[in-house]
Amino acid sequence: MNIAKCLLLVAFATQQLVALAPQDRTPADTAVFIEGGPIAENLDSLRTLVGSVAGEGVWSIFAANLEQKSGVNLLDAQKLEEIGVSSKEAWAIALNMEIESTGTPSKPAFVLIIPAQNNTKLYDFLKGKVAEAQMPVNKEIEPGRLLNFGAENDPGFLVRTPNAVLVSNDQAMVKALQSKASNPIAKAPHYTSMRTHLYGRNQNKAPLVAFYLHPRLIVASLKSQSELLRNLQRDLNKGDENAPVIDDNSPYVAEIRENLQSSGGAIVANAEKLSFYFSYKYKEGYLSDTTKIYPKIVQVKTAPLASDTLARNPVHYTLIKVNALAMIELFKSLSPVFTEKYNKGLQDVNTKLAIDFEADILRSLRGNYNFQVLNIPSEAKTKDILAWELYGTFGIKEGTANNWVKLIKNVEKMVKKAEAKKPNKSKFAYEDIDEGKIITITGEDRMSGPKAKPISVIILVRETEIIVSNSKANAIKATKGGDKTLSERLTRLTYDSAQGIFFLDLQQVYKAVMKMKQGGSLKPYANMLEKLKNFSILSTVTGDFATAETTLQLRK
């Protein structure tokens, strides 16, 4: 044998020893690809998370229960190595399924890819567990390499490959993943672009698990979106059930189908947080094109409200940015009945209030709205509305403040006319202060019974925003902004990228509840509850990606 052949054999043997990554054996047309991190790292992350919140003892209980049921501590990387698992390598699941015409997914075919440093030992271990389970079907099709198990109508397959053991419910699919794919998902644009994005959101670190959807599945799933829109349209069409119903080629669905390129998500778990996020990637430039339906609704670029920069951390903070007129236009495009009712309602409002409501009011909105709760009062005062520090604020365009004052004065005239014969009449008071114009509306509290005191709503009209609160003092607090936005301070999001925020300070809630009578029942869980920092739901639009993220933040 000459030296060239020897080198070729060495090169071939070396190639066989190099672990084949799951994304290299999975075909690019796989419907859903779930990619885990290295097993040992995943276990460390989970152990750290559980230990941080519930204590190391809880993890030990989990491990003991698993060991009792399986004979092996499946939460110990070293024990996994002993049965043949390669704990330093990544695991994965490949799923193939179709979306039915109803929008629901069919039963998926799957392949679980378990990395192996000793494939024979791992195969034999899993084969032994199948035997212990005494399944109706337990037959080796290829001795030492391919096992058929389960039931006739619910088959399972166990396959030994050079560096992984595969578990599947579909023989054809599992055979296709035994070796490197001719067109692997590792090179597919929908996978590579989304993977870069998901890792970037996690400071370029591998998440606990990530998943990627093939574009064909996304397009098929739009059928379910069409169904949701049809249901919405039926509601909008009430009173005229024979109105034409949208199809899958409605302008909105067609626009999304044309521009949506991929989607995926990830779960992150560590000592600091447990987070789940899901992202959509659109064609380059689509999300910034505000002539399109969806970007026009969500792309609101405007200066923060004063209370968006409050120096004090609120108990609760909600921020929503949406173009109201663009949303109305979407509804109008879905339903001619809604259009007819909207136009008639608008005409009635314009007549009654002597104002062009769409031109003077709706078009004055900047598109940013927030609501904040700054405190939780003592248990004795929780029913006292004035004991709460809270307000809502929304932005208006410069030069339109007088439109809102006019609107309120016209509403006052309507109320006076409607309450002319009532003994207790609502009162409107106007006051100019440094922060703007205060309007106090006082009326009956019909919710708290006959002995209830009159209740007041405070409206503070400013040049570029309107604040609605339960007291003058709280309304003025909403004007005291700082240098940094709450979105940056609480959630590390720039104000421009934040499309929606729901934030709850769990520590402030915990401390307030522990002072109440109900707090006694929570004392056994105090060690765990003290470690919960905050909970948030975030919606962002950055570049070509729209992302929703839910996070439970932990105290260090």
* pLDDT confidence tier of residue 247, bands split at 50, 70 and 90: low
Residue-level pLDDT at 51: 86
**Residue 472 to residue 18: CA distance in whole angstroms:** 70
Q: Residue 371: beta bridge partners?
A: 318, 392
**Tell me: the pLDDT tens digits for 513-524?**
999 988 888 888
Contact between residue 80 and residue 74 where contact means Cβ atoms under 8 Å apart: yes
**Tell me: the pLDDT tens digits for 253-290?**
788 888 999 999 999 998 899 999 999 999 999 999 99
* pLDDT confidence tier of residue 1, bands split at 50, 70 and 90: very low
Q: Is residue 263 part of a domain?
A: no
In this predicted structure, the answer to whether residue 484 has a pLDDT above a threshold of 80 is: yes
Residue-level pLDDT at 248: 55
Radius of gyration (Cα) for the chain, nearest Å? 30
**Tell me: the pLDDT tens digits for 336-360?**
777 888 999 999 999 999 999 999 9
Residue-level pLDDT at 226: 56
Residue-level pLDDT at 444: 73
Q: Is residue 18 part of a domain?
A: no
Average pLDDT over residues 317-329: 95
**Residue 386 to residue 457: CA distance in whole angstroms:** 11
Tally of structural domains, the chain: 2
**Tell me: the pLDDT tens digits for 138-170?**
999 999 999 999 998 899 999 999 999 999 999
168 and 313 housed in the same domain:
no
- 21 HSE (CA, 13 A, CB side): 12
Burial class, 157, CB count within 10 angstroms (exposed 0-12 / middle 13-18 / buried 19+): buried
Domain end point (choices 187, 209, 243): 187
* pLDDT confidence tier of residue 447, bands split at 50, 70 and 90: low
208: left (phi over 0), alpha (psi -120 to 50) or beta: alpha
Share of the chain above pLDDT 70, in %: 88
DSSP 386: G
Q: ∠ CA 212-217-219 to the nearest 5 degrees? A: 120
Q: Which amino acid is at 130?
A: V
Q: Is residue 251 part of a domain?
A: no
Domain end point (choices 187, 202, 227): 187
Contact between residue 364 and residue 397 where contact means Cβ atoms under 8 Å apart: yes
311 and 427 housed in the same domain:
yes
**Tell me: the pLDDT tens digits for 388-434?**
999 999 999 999 999 999 999 999 999 999 988 888 889 999 999 99
333 and 449 housed in the same domain:
yes
182 and 294 housed in the same domain:
no
In this predicted structure, the answer to whether residue 21 has a pLDDT above a threshold of 90 is: yes
Share of the chain above pLDDT 90, in %: 67
363 and 503 housed in the same domain:
yes
Q: Is residue 237 part of a domain?
A: no
**Residue 472 to residue 57: CA distance in whole angstroms:** 51
Domain end point (choices 187, 210, 228): 187
305 and 448 housed in the same domain:
yes
Q: Is residue 252 part of a domain?
A: no
38 and 165 housed in the same domain:
yes
Residue-level pLDDT at 229: 60
User: Which pTM does this prediction carry?
Assistant: 0.87
Token pair of 491 as six digits: 């959630």
pLDDT, mean over the chain: 88
Q: Is residue 373 part of a domain?
A: yes
Token pair of 66 as six digits: 């698993």
In this predicted structure, the answer to whether residue 106 has a pLDDT above a threshold of 80 is: no
Q: Is residue 451 part of a domain?
A: yes
In this predicted structure, the answer to whether residue 465 has a pLDDT above a threshold of 60 is: yes
**Residue 249 to residue 380: CA distance in whole angstroms:** 57
Long-range residue pairs from 345-353, CB within 8 A, at least 24 positions apart, any chain: 352/414, 353/407, 353/410, 353/411, 353/414
Q: Is residue 173 part of a domain?
A: yes
**Residue 168 to residue 153: CA distance in whole angstroms:** 14
Contact between residue 231 and residue 335 where contact means Cβ atoms under 8 Å apart: no
Residue-level pLDDT at 217: 77
Q: What is the dihedral of CA 63, 65, 70, 72, to 10 degrees?
A: 30
Highest mean pLDDT among 96-100, 185-189, 332-336, 339-343: 185-189
Burial class, 289, CB count within 10 angstroms (exposed 0-12 / middle 13-18 / buried 19+): middle
**Tell me: the pLDDT tens digits for 287-297?**
999 999 999 99
**Residue 457 to residue 426: CA distance in whole angstroms:** 11
* pLDDT confidence tier of residue 549, bands split at 50, 70 and 90: very high
Domain residue limits at 118: 29-187
Residue-level pLDDT at 240: 56
